[in-house]
Structure 1
Amino acid sequence: MNRLYHVALSPFCRKVRLVLAEKKIEVELVEERYWEQAPEFLRRNPAGKVPVLRLDGRIMAESQAICEFIEETVPTPPLLPRDPLARYEVRRLCAWFDDKFNAEVTAKVMGERVWKKIRKEGYPDSKTVKSGLSAVKRHLDYMGELLDQRRWLAGDVLTLADFCAAAHLSCLDYISDVDWDRSATVKDWYAKIKSRPAFRSLLADHVPGLPPSAQYAELDF
């Protein structure tokens, strides 16, 4: 049985889930309380992080490495362009969201409003949340600039960069922390990607004690 050890509101796990679904690779989703660092989990990934994918008997970790392995072994539908420069742009944007966006936005907002609650680590720090919500505006503006010139984030076709960005934004959207009215272009982009069959599993997520926002699962929001 293929399995993905994940956490529902982890953008890195969501990125892998989107790629698996887009490629029509079926996996069993197994919630992993990775912060407890259980010995069995550490044997799967000594780094102690999710996602961890068990696929055809192999154990794989690190979301970007997993996604690129899937792309190379299941090339249809393609999520990385053939052209080297276009492929570079996809990887650049994946790094942008997984590193810069995550550090400036996701880790701050989700860390304070979600993970502190789930792990029972106290109350949110309002200054940290405010910093994250301020930063997301700059990122939405940057995405708007890209989408004013392109159909999708990295070019004229859907790529891994779109799934990577959507994975982060969908986590924030779950707790209603995205001002979609800031950019009609970005809102239209998210509506398109949110309507894809690959997104259905994410929209069905429901974290106990933390219900999704009213518009989270709505395709026309």
Structure 2
Amino acid sequence: MNTNTQTTRLYHTALSPFCRKVRLVLAEKRIEVELVEERYWENPPELRRRNPAGKLPVLRYRGNMLAESQAIVEYLDESVPQPPLMPQAPLERHEVRRLCSWFDDKFNAEVTSPILNERVWKKVTRAGYPDSRVVKDGLRAIKEHIDYLSSLLETRRWLAGANMSLADFTAAAHFSCLDYISDVDWDRSETLRDWYATIKSRPAFRSILADQVPGIHPAPHYAELDFG
């Protein structure tokens, strides 16, 4: 049997920025994928068999099980070169990776993870009531991030430079999760809002905008390409 004929399958959870990053890149590369929702908080044994770290996303692609979102998207970009999402010049590639790390580490720790944990995952997993102090800290931190990203976009067409890259999809994955629950102050920066509206309008975003988390309704503007 040729394992390359196996269905491409992504084990994911809907409101995870790491899973969304992979989904966006798969869609941008026009790779058809079957989405399998995982209740990772229940620690299913199948998840550790697919990824010993017990983390999502996990992508079954061309007969291989791939883990860690950044490693996955860089592999996809190398395996399916068009459209390219990494620049050719080493210094430009470094900038893309720096910004991907900025979002997956710093932004996630200061903004995405605490806000989603309090507003979404505590409710989904029945782990108690949200801590308003944690949410306020996250909403305070996002302002600094918005200001920094706006300063980058004042001299760049896209976050990492002249061309759209993995940095933009990583950032959009995080912002889209927060936008689902209306926790991005888009009025703070017209520049960042325009950037998000542009990437949000891409066909790759369609399945993301169709997401529904049981018991938690998206913000009214969430699926509107012009923010309604």
User: TM-score, normalization: structure 1?
Assistant: 0.99
1:140 aligned residue:
146
Offset at residue 182 of structure 1 (A) = 0.2
1:99 aligned residue:
105
Offset at residue 37 of structure 1 (A) = 1.3
CA distance in 2, matches of 1:207, 1:114: 9
- Give the alignment partner of residue 32 of structure 1, picking from 38, 50, 65: 38
Gaps of 5+ in 1: none
- Give the alignment partner of residue 80 of structure 2, picking from 62, 74, 78: 74
Q: Secondary structure at the match of 2:30?
A: coil
- Asked whether 1:180 is paired with 2:180, we answer no
- Give the alignment partner of residue 213 of structure 1, picking from 208, 219, 227: 219
CA distance in 1, matches of 2:113, 2:169: 18
Offset at residue 58 of structure 1 (A) = 0.5
Aligned length: 221
Structure 1 outlier segments of 4+, above 3 Å: none
User: TM-score, normalization: structure 2?
Assistant: 0.96
CA distance in 1, matches of 2:51, 2:40: 10
2:24 aligned residue:
18
CA distance in 2, matches of 1:35, 1:179: 29
Alpha-carbon RMSD: 0.5
Q: Which amino acid aligns with 1:145?
A: S
Gaps of 5+ in 2: 1-6
Offset at residue 56 of structure 1 (A) = 1.4
1:168-209 deviation digits (Å, cap 9, x = unpaired): 000000000000000000000000000000000100001111
1:108-134 deviation digits (Å, cap 9, x = unpaired): 100100011111000000110000000
CA distance in 1, matches of 2:183, 2:72: 28
